[in-house]
């Protein structure tokens, strides 16, 4: 398993030791595990924050011995932000660097941080937008080398201290992507709290030479590929606008919507609705000339089939679930598709129906959806 480079705790006015944060080995159960500490939805999403003015210079990520508690991002958001914010180099030279560092700053009062265990539920999500691939990894390694945070006692046993727990990890070591020129967009999820997203360019070296003929060949090869067949296999109406469908975003993006609380009993469906506006890659276009392929793969009558990745994290299990959706659309206008989908979550493979709260995220190329939350109440008869 990959190793964390460093773990630094910055404590200001700590009232008591931080409870619930001792390192416990991650569980491998698929569902029904012990729920996390009671959580309150008072965390702040970092997805809408623009942290560009307080990001570190690229060379700082390879410096050793620095006091991460004095980083500009911590100074700006301390005492005002409960959640996770991240930073990573804007560009990495593949010729001179062998790592891709990422700093994750988990900030809040000790009472707030006690509601969500970074060790159990922190998740690193890295997207290769050019290939539309997604990689998931634990956001913290359980290596047993860190003692629980200790602080000075506070008045009447209250938890009023503020803390910034700064993690340093190597993204390259954590994900199975090729170390070659391209882009990576990273984010950390902590149940219902997503961090901001940071993009890193993987540069080939000092030379800016581009082989135009090679690029032309690769583009033509990509344009010939057939799209994947729709998945999961659903009736055509599942790809049309429904009464529960959210509005299509005005800019490129994905929006998810579902009932906030669902009672699981019998074989009742658990619908989740999605709407999107996304750029279409050449390999996602349906090729009219390949009629036999289109017929055999349920693509007749569609203009494209887009890949959307759905990630589910929950309070009842430590391992995330990932679903690769292939959503067909009937029209593509100027390289952009607008569409909808309706999923019955109860029919998805390995979807946990046990009593817990589940948070869904969606990704496609450069875009990501804010989470949608579903609280499951299990009233199925015991078997």
What is the tens place of the pLDDT at every residue in 233-248? 899 999 999 999 999 9
Buried b (16+ CB within 10 A) or exposed e, 253-283: bbbbebeeebebeeeeebbbbbbbbbbbbbb
Q: What is the pLDDT of residue 40?
A: 40
**Helices (H) then strands (E): counts for the chain:** 6, 19
Give the C-alpha separation, 114 to 21, whole Å: 7
| The predicted structure's pLDDT at residue 25 | 35
Each residue's pLDDT tens digit, 99-143: 999 999 999 988 888 889 898 899 999 999 999 999 999 998 654
Q: How far apart are CA 156 and CA 109, in angstroms?
A: 16
Q: What is the 8-class DSSP label of residue 230?
A: P
pLDDT for residue 23? 29
pLDDT score recorded for residue 207: 62
Average pLDDT, the chain: 83
Domains plus CATH for the chain?
A: 6-203 (2.60.40.10), 223-378 (2.60.40)
Complete DSSP assignment for 107-151: EEEHHHHTTS-HHHHEEEEEEETTTTEEEEEESS---S--PPP--
Identify the burial level of 354 via C-beta atoms within 10 angstroms of its C-beta, where 0-12 means exposed, 13-18 middle and 19 or more buried: middle
Most confidently predicted of 4-8, 176-180, 246-250: 246-250
Dist. CA 383–CA 379, nearest whole Å: 12
pLDDT single digits (tens) 9-56: 433 332 222 222 222 334 333 333 333 333 344 456 788 888 999 999
What pLDDT score does 382 carry? Answer: 77
Q: How far apart are CA 53 and CA 55, in angstroms?
A: 6
Instruction: Give whole-number Cα distances, 121 to 106, 137, 206, 358, in Å.
Output: 12, 11, 39, 12
What CA–CA distance (Å, rounded) separates 90 from 203?
10
Give mean pLDDT, residues 219-226. 92
268-280 average pLDDT score:
95
For the cut 80, the answer to whether the pLDDT of residue 7 exceeds it is no
Angle (CA) 17-147-140 rounded to 5° is 105
Reply yes or no on whether the pLDDT at 337 is more than 90.
yes
Q: Residue for token digits 């990273």?
A: 186
Q: Tell me the mean pLDDT in the region 89-103.
A: 95
- The mean pLDDT value for 70-89 works out to 92
pLDDT level of residue 160 (50, 70, 90 thresholds): low
Decide the pairing of beta strands 271-279 and 336-344.
Answer: antiparallel
Mean pLDDT of the 50-77 span: 92
Q: Which H or E run includes 77?
A: helix 72-77
Task: Look up the pTM and report it.
Answer: 0.83
pLDDT in the model for residue 247: 97
């Amino acid at each position: 398993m990959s190793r964390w480079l460093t773990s630094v705790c910055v404590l200001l006015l700590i009232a008591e030791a931080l409870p619930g944060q001792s390192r416990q080995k991650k569980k491998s159960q698929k569902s029904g595990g012990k729920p996390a500490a009671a959580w309150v939805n008072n965390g702040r999403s970092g997805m809408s924050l623009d942290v560009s003015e307080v990001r570190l210079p690229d060379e700082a990520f390879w410096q050793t011995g620095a006091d991460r508690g004095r980083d500009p991002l911590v100074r700006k958001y301390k005492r005002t932000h409960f959640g996770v914010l991240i930073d990573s180099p804007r560009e990495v030279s593949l010729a001179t660097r062998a790592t891709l560092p990422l700093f994750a700053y988990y900030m809040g009062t000790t009472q707030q941080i006690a509601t969500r265990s970074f060790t159990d539920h922190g998740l690193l999500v890295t997207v290769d937008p050019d290939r539309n691939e997604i990689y998931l990894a634990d956001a913290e390694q359980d290596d047993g080398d860190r003692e629980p945070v200790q602080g000075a006692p506070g008045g009447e046993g209250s938890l009023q201290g503020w803390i910034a727990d700064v993690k340093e990890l190597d993204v390259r070591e954590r994900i199975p992507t090729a170390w070659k020129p391209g882009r990576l967009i990273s984010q950390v999820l902590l149940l219902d709290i997503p961090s901001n997203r940071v993009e890193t360019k993987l540069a080939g070296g000092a030379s800016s030479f581009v082989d135009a003929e090679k690029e032309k060949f690769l583009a033509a090869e990509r344009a010939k590929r057939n799209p994947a067949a729709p998945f999961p296999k659903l009736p055509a109406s599942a790809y049309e606008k429904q009464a529960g469908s959210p509005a299509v975003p005005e800019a490129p993006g994905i929006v998810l919507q579902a009932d906030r609380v669902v009672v699981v009993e019998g074989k009742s469906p658990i619908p989740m609705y999605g709407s999107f506006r996304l750029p279409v890659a050449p390999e996602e276009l349906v090729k009219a000339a390949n009629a036999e392929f289109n017929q055999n793969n349920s693509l007749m009558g569609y203009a494209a089939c887009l890949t959307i990745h759905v990630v589910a994290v929950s309070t009842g299990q430590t391992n995330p679930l990932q679903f690769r959706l292939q959503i067909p659309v009937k029209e593509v206008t100027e390289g952009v598709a607008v569409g909808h989908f309706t999923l019955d979550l109860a029919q998805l493979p390995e979807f946990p129906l046990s009593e817990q709260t589940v948070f869904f995220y969606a990704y496609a190329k450069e875009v990501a959806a804010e989470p949608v939350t579903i609280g499951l109440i299990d009233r199925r008869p015991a078997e």
